[in-house]
Amino acid sequence: MSETDLPVPDEPEATPPEPERVRTGVDSVDDVIRAVEELEERPLEEHVGVFEAAHAELRRALDHTDPPTEPA
């Protein structure tokens, strides 16, 4: 009996661990992150629109940040 005649044990399929989801605590930014995370489930034709909307929303979030307040 040669090595090629030996049965090969079934190897379990390696499932990569789920990546840790990034959340900022800022609802509008977290919505953008969620939309980008869901791109894999959407048709390729929709990706550009999602990225453009994400860019616009992130710019809006940066533009509307309140400056730090001075301690009294």
Q: Would you place residue 68 in the very low, low, confident or very high pLDDT band (cuts 50, 70, 90)?
A: low
* pLDDT for 13: 72
Q: Is residue 5 scored above 80 in pLDDT?
A: no
User: How big is the CA angle at 42 (ends 35 and 34), to the nearest 5 degrees?
Assistant: 15
32 CB neighbour count, 10 Å cutoff: 22
pLDDT tens digits, one per residue of 7-59: 666 776 778 787 788 899 999 999 999 999 999 999 999 999 999 999 999 99
DSSP 8-state class, residue 47: H
Residue pointed to by tokens 């894999």: 40
Higher pLDDT among residues 6 and 37, named by residue: 37
